[in-house]
Amino acid sequence: MSDCLKDAPIGVFDSGFGGLTVVREIMRQIPNEKIVYFGDTARVPYGSKSKETVTRFSRQITHFLQTQNVKTIVVACNTASAYALDELEKEIDIPMIGVVKPGAKVAADVTQNGKVGVIATSATIGSEIYTTYIKKLKPEVSVTGKACPLFVPLVEEGLLEDPVTDEIASRYLLELIDIDIDTLILGCTHYPLIRNTIQRVVGEKVTLVNPAYETARELKLLLEEKGILQDKKPDLGENRYQFFVSDGAEKFKTFANSILKYGILSAKTISIEDY
Amino acid sequence: MSDCLKDAPIGVFDSGFGGLTVVREIMRQIPNEKIVYFGDTARVPYGSKSKETVTRFSRQITHFLQTQNVKTIVVACNTASAYALDELEKEIDIPMIGVVKPGAKVAADVTQNGKVGVIATSATIGSEIYTTYIKKLKPEVSVTGKACPLFVPLVEEGLLEDPVTDEIASRYLLELIDIDIDTLILGCTHYPLIRNTIQRVVGEKVTLVNPAYETARELKLLLEEKGILQDKKPDLGENRYQFFVSDGAEKFKTFANSILKYGILSAKTISIEDY
C-alpha cells in the first residue's frame, strides 16, 4: 500500500501558467516524483475574482486531480491558497499544501527588523492571509501588502527585462521601500519570473522570499513524514510529468517549455466544468 | 405581438466590463430601449482563449439572455463576435448583431488611401475577421492587424492617461504608423477608454473607428427594419437597465458607474455554467 502510494503522482494546480514555477522547484528538489499538473487556462486569472468563484473552480480541479489518483495536492496558486485551501482540505482525505503558509513561515524567520512586505494579486492582498499567518508565528512583525495587478500581464507579454516593467515595479514598490521593509514575499507564482527587476528596485538589502522554493521543501518534508516520498529512481525514458489545461494546450506547451528544463511532450485539454 | 416585442429588452453581453462602452452608445442613440447586460466576470478575459472555449461560454450566455426574453442580442465583445457569432446566430431565432461587421463597414467606407489598421486582442487578430469582412466589401483595401494584450490590463488598472500607457501604445502602434494607415479600428471594447492616447500616438490624420458607436447605429436600423424599435418613452422612474455578472457584482457596479452616465442601482451574480 505504502509503496503503491509512493509511486502515485503529486497533483499540482494553478489558475494557468504561474504554478509552473512551483513545478520547477518540485522537479529540482524531489526529482523522483511523478507530477500531474492542471492549469485552468479557460478561466485564468483568479487574482481579480471572488472567494466563492475561486473556491468553486478549485473544488472542480481538486475533484479532477483525485481522478488521477494523486497522493497529495499542491495548490500552486496564491489566490487559490488564500481563498480555497482551508475549505477544500476539510473535504478530501489526502493531504493538501498551499504556497502561502511556507512563504509566510520563511518570511517570519528571515526578517531582522520585523518589517515584511507582500506583493500579490488583489485577491491575495485583500484576503490578508500572509499577514494572518505571519502574525500567528510572530505577532510583533508588521506586514504590508501591495497588489500588483499589472505584473502578470507584463510577464505574459514577455517584458521580463524592460523599462516599462521597471517603471511599474518602481511605482508598486515605492510604499514598501518607504516603510523600510527588509523582507519581501513574492506572493504570486508569476513574480519569480521578474525577480531580477524586483530585486533591483527594492535594493540588495531586501531579502526576496519565493514561496515556490519553500513549498517544494515543505512538500518533501510532508511526504517523508507520511512515508510516501518516492525513493526509487525513475526508469530511463519513463514519462513522469503530465499536463492538463482547460484551454489552449498548444500555447501552454510553448510557455511551459520556456520555464521548465524538461521538454514537455504534450498538454491535454479537458472540460473542467464537468468535475 | 409586435408591441410586446417592442417593449422587450435588448440583450447585450461581453466577457466583462468592456461591453459597457457599447451599452453607453445604445443608451445614447436609442434611449427608449430596455437593456439586459451580462458580463462574464468569472471567466474574463476571452481575448487570450480559444475559439472552442469562447464559443462554449458565449452559448451559455445566449441561453441565459433568452430566459430574459430579449428581442435581440448584441455581442458587445470583439473576441466573441469573431469566434462565436456565426455559429450562435444559426442556433437561435432572434436576431444577433456583433461589433465586428459594423466596425469593418465603416472602416472600409472612410479609408482614403486603402490602408486600414486594426488593434484588438490576440484572439480577434488571430481570427483575421476584420480583414475578411473589409476585403468582402472592398477587396483592394489592405488590412493590418496588431494584437495589444496590455491595453486591457492598463485600462483596468486605471492608467488611462499615463506615460506607461503612452510608451506601450507607441510600441504597439509603431508598425501601423510605419505603413501609413489612415484608418484605425479600435477592435476591443476597452480601447475607446484610451482613445485619446491612441489618437495622440497615431496622429490626428488617422481616423479612429469605434465599433461601439457603429454597432448602436446598426442596432437601431435593425430594430426599425424589424418593426420592433421602442417608440414609446419610458415611464418616469422605470428601471430599464438590468446588469448580471458571473462574479464580483459590487466591483462591476463601481466600474459601470464610472463609465455610464446613469447610476446603476445593482448588478446580480448568476451561475452562468448552468445555462
Q: pLDDT tens digits for A88-111? A: 999 999 999 999 999 999 999 999
Residue-level pLDDT at B236: 77
Residue-level pLDDT at A260: 87
Distance CA B44, CA B255 (A): 15
Q: Is B77 known to be catalytic?
A: yes
Give the dihedral of Cα atoms A111, A112, A114, A115; nearest 10 deg: -70
What is the C-alpha R_g of chain B? Answer: 18
Residue-level pLDDT at A4: 83
Average per-residue pLDDT for chain A: 95
From the list B164, B248, B273, the residue facing A164 with the nearest CB is B164
Q: Assess whether pLDDT exceeds 80 at residue B1.
A: no
Q: Which long-range contacts (CB under 8 A, 24 or more apart) does B246-251 make?
A: B246/A53, B246/B38, B246/B39, B246/B40, B246/B41, B246/B42, B246/B43, B246/B270, B246/B271, B246/B272, B247/A49, B247/A50, B247/A52, B247/A53, B247/B41, B247/B42, B248/A48, B248/A49, B248/A50, B248/A53, B248/B41, B248/B42, B251/B41
Distance CA B78, CA B59 (A): 15
Distance CA B202, CA B224 (A): 37
| Residue B274 DSSP symbol | G
Residue-level pLDDT at B235: 83
Chain B contacts of A247, Cβ < 8 Å? Answer: 49-50, 52-53
Residue-level pLDDT at B248: 94
Please report which helix (H) or strand (E) contains residue B215, including its range.
helix B211-225
Distance CA B106, CA B118 (A): 13
Q: Assess whether pLDDT exceeds 80 at residue B265.
A: no
Q: Assess whether pLDDT exceeds 70 at residue A1.
A: no
The residue of B46, B53, B268, B273 whose CB has the most chain A CBs within 10 angstroms, and thus the best one to mutate to test that interface, is B53
Q: Assess whether pLDDT exceeds 60 at residue A65.
A: yes
What single letter denotes the amino acid at residue A138?
K
C-alpha cell at position B38: 451580462
Name the residue among A42, A59, A62 with its Cα closest to residue A270. Answer: A42
CB atoms within 10 A of CB A152: 25
Kindly state the average pLDDT of the residues A132-144.
Answer: 97
- Cα A214 to Cα A25, A99, A115, A133, distances in angstroms: 9, 8, 20, 15
pLDDT band at B153 (very low <50, low <70, confident <90, very high): very high
Span between the terminal Cα atoms of chain B, in Å: 27
Instruction: Please write the tens of the pLDDT for every residue from B84-121.
Output: 999 999 999 999 999 999 999 999 999 999 999 999 99
From the list B41, B157, B164, the residue facing A167 with the nearest CB is B164
Query: CA of B178 to nearest chain A CA: how many angstroms apart?
Result: 22
Note whether B129 and B81 are within 8 A (CB).
Answer: yes
**Closest chain A residue to the Cα of B250, Cα to Cα:** A50
Kindly determine whether residue B154 and residue A150, on different chains, have CB atoms separated by under 8 Å: yes
Residue-level pLDDT at B2: 61
User: Which region holds residue B90: left if phi is over 0, alpha if psi is between -120 and 50, else beta?
Assistant: alpha
pLDDT band at B266 (very low <50, low <70, confident <90, very high): confident
pLDDT band at A20 (very low <50, low <70, confident <90, very high): very high
From the list B42, B50, B52, the residue facing A49 with the nearest CB is B42
The residue extents of the domains of chain B are 2-98+213-274, 100-211
Q: What percent of chain A has pLDDT over 90?
A: 90
| Residue A192 DSSP symbol | G
Kindly determine whether residue A163 and residue B168, on different chains, have CB atoms separated by under 8 Å: no
For cell 518607504, name the residue.
A178
CB pairs under 8 A between A and B: 55
Note whether A99 and A212 are within 8 A (CB).
Answer: yes
Q: Assess whether pLDDT exceeds 60 at residue B201.
A: yes
CB atoms within 10 A of CB A5: 16
- What is the pairing mode between strands B10-14 and B35-39? parallel
Q: Which of A85-89, A124-128, A231-235, B112-116 has the lowest mean pLDDT?
A: A231-235
Instruction: Please write the tens of the pLDDT for every residue from B17-49.
Output: 999 999 999 999 999 999 999 999 999 999 999
Q: Which of A34-43, A186-195, A265-274, B160-169 has the lowest mean pLDDT?
A: A265-274
Do the first three CATH levels of A2-98+213-274 and A100-211 match, i.e. the same topology?
Answer: yes
Tell me, which fold does domain B2-98+213-274 have in CATH?
Answer: Rossmann fold (3.40.50)
Name the residue among A67, A106, A81 with its Cα closest to residue A213. Answer: A106
Task: State whether CATH 2.130.10.10 applies to domain A100-211.
Answer: no
Q: Assess whether pLDDT exceeds 80 at residue A248.
A: yes
Instruction: Please write the tens of the pLDDT for every residue from A166-224.
Output: 999 999 999 999 999 999 999 999 999 999 999 999 999 999 999 999 999 999 999 99
Distance CA B25, CA B22 (A): 5
**Closest chain A residue to the Cα of B54, Cα to Cα:** A42
Strand order in the sheet with B183-186: B142-147, B115-120, B183-186, B207-209
Interface of A with B (CB under 8 A): 41-44, 48-50, 52-53, 149-150, 152-154, 156-157, 163-164, 167-168, 246-248, 273
C-alpha cell at position B219: 442596432
Distance CA A153, CA A146 (A): 17
Kindly state the average pLDDT of the residues B151-161.
Answer: 94
Chain A contacts of B247, Cβ < 8 Å? Answer: 49-50, 52-53
Q: Is A77 known to be catalytic?
A: yes
pLDDT band at A249 (very low <50, low <70, confident <90, very high): very high
Q: Assess whether pLDDT exceeds 70 at residue A2.
A: no
Kindly determine whether residue A246 and residue B154, on different chains, have CB atoms separated by under 8 Å: no
Please tell me which residue in A75, A188, A209, A216 is annotated as part of the active site: A188
Distance CA A240, CA A233 (A): 11
Chain B contacts of A164, Cβ < 8 Å? Answer: 164, 167-168
Q: Assess whether pLDDT exceeds 90 at residue A138.
A: yes
Neighbouring residues of A220: CB distance < 8 A, sequence distance ≥ 6: A29, A30, A229
Residue-level pLDDT at B238: 79
Chain A contacts of B49, Cβ < 8 Å? Answer: 41-42, 247-248
Chain A contacts of B53, Cβ < 8 Å? Answer: 42, 246-248
Q: Assess whether pLDDT exceeds 90 at residue B239.
A: no
From the list B53, B164, B248, the residue facing A247 with the nearest CB is B53
Phi and psi at residue A221, to the nearest 5°: -60, -45
From the list A50, A157, A246, the residue facing B247 with the nearest CB is A50
